[in-house]
A and B are shown apart, each in its own frame.
Chain A
Amino acid sequence: MKFLTTNFVKCAVKGCQSSTESFPLKYSDCQLVQEEQEYNPEFLVHMLERLDWNAVIQVARDLGNDSLPPTKPDSLDPIMEEDQAVLKDLHTLLVETQIVEGRMTCNNCQHVYHIKNSIPNFLLPPHLC
């Protein structure tokens, strides 16, 4: 699962849908892998506007990275030379960093979702459906 995806996924339990606590999930015991991916600056700029930067920081802290800037980098241009460094960093963080194994916990209902072989398991037990 790409780091980017963590910024969108939330708890699947019905009772958590209206809760603000169900996003972002808490990540623990995670194994990370860097996998080289095609660099696509247009896509990054497109996704940047819908990223929740606070969630990015929180998840990065869960995964052991405290060095993110507190504000979202904005008004980046995929063509400009001086923005390339930031975009490259974002690419490494969001697209190339992948979670292979780990656990995600909902802050609202404390339900644990497991990630195995980089596939998160969102199947719910019958009593939570």
Chain B
Amino acid sequence: MSRPEELAPPEVFYNDTESFKYTSSTRVQHIQAKMTLRALELLNLEKEQPHFLLDLGCGSGLSGEILTEEGYNWIGMDISPSMLATGLDRDVEGDLFLSDLGNGVPFRAGTFDAAISISAIQWLCNADTAGVDPKKRLLCFFNTLYSSLRRGGKFVAQFYPMNDSQTEAILGAAKVAGFGGGLIIDDPDSKRHKKYYLVLTAGLSERTVNLTGATMEAPVMNKKVNKKLLRKMESGKDFINRKKETMKRRGKKVALDSKFTGRKRRPRF
């Protein structure tokens, strides 16, 4: 399936027909509900206490409905008027805002206990109009989000990065804004069901995020291997290729590389 992010800006892509299709599809509803519940699980909020949440990229309120069901009060923000109109028709509980996340979150400091975002922030990595810098937009978004969260507030965002550089840009911007935390990948082995969750905390929190079931992946350390040991381990073919490379670099005449390079001459020959 092609990525909607590559087709058009969000406010154009999610027009009336597309928002209707999106909201009425039971498959989408199911996936959204599952991801929202997973995000809430990661947030690890106290069940007994009331909370005030922000839903970024709420769309037609599919995720918001789950929040209401779970007993949270929330405010939703989205850039697509059609999606919000669909949300109004569906009579969602939370307040809806028509707003561009890349221009920041217009709430005063310490408003929210937590924030979630389902399948939205990858849109921020696109430059939809001339003179727009995705990096600046990401930074503006994370900066304002940081200040609108209570100290110790948490933010969990499920998103679909196009490539590693997008993930890096998002993580980098979050770090610059002052967030602590990182990335959790659910089902890392399955290409279809792989889901990325950005899990961030603003300041220290007495209740940390719920990381049960997540395996920590430390960056693979490239230990410097002894050169002598490396030479010992290399095969005959590697040896020949290495020698040919050095000779080529010195300007010597070297036989062309082929599939026969480094092969033995059998007696049949």
Contact = CB atoms under 8 A, between A and B. Distances in A.
Interface of A: 1-2, 5, 8-12, 14, 17, 23, 40, 42-43, 46-47, 50, 52, 117-124, 126, 129
A29 B88 CA distance: 22
A120 to B, nearest CB: 6
A14 B108 contact: no
B87 to A, nearest CB: 9
B111 A8 contact: yes
B103 interface: yes
A2 B75 CA distance: 10
A120 B97 contact: yes
Contacts of A9: 97, 106-108
Nearest to B131: A126
A1 B88 CA distance: 12
Nearest to A52: B108
B99 A122 contact: yes
B108 A123 contact: no
B61 to A, nearest CB: 12
Interface string B91-122: 00001111110111011101100000000000
Contacts of B98: 119-123
Interface in B19-76: 49-52, 73, 75
Nearest to A40: B50
Nearest to B132: A129
22 contacts: A5-B75, A8-B108, A9-B107, A9-B108, A10-B106, A10-B108, A11-B106, A12-B99, A12-B103, A17-B104, A42-B50, A117-B85, A117-B88, A118-B88, A118-B95, A118-B96, A119-B84, A120-B98, A121-B98, A121-B99, A122-B77, A126-B129
Given A42-B49, A46-B52, A122 B97 contact: yes
B79 interface: yes
B140 interface: yes
A8 B107 contact: yes
B144 interface: yes
Contacts of B129: 126
Taking chain A's interface residues, is the majority helix, strand, or loop, or is none over half, making it mixed? loop
B106 A122 contact: yes
Contacts of A40: 50, 73
Contacts of B150: 50
Contacts of B104: 12, 14, 17
Given A10-B108, A47-B50, 4 more contacts: A50-B110, A119-B84, A122-B97, A122-B106
B96 to A, nearest CB: 5
B137 to A, nearest CB: 9
A40 B111 CA distance: 19
B100 A123 contact: yes
Contacts of A46: 49-52
Nearest to A46: B50
Contact of B50 (A1, A43, A117): A43
Most buried by A among B108, B110, B129: B108
Contacts of A117: 85, 88
Nearest to A23: B108
A17 B95 contact: no
A47 B100 contact: no
Nearest to B104: A12
A128 to B, nearest CB: 8
Nearest to B98: A121
A40 to B, nearest CB: 7
A119 B98 CA distance: 7
B133 to A, nearest CB: 11
Contact of B111 (A42, A50, A121): A50
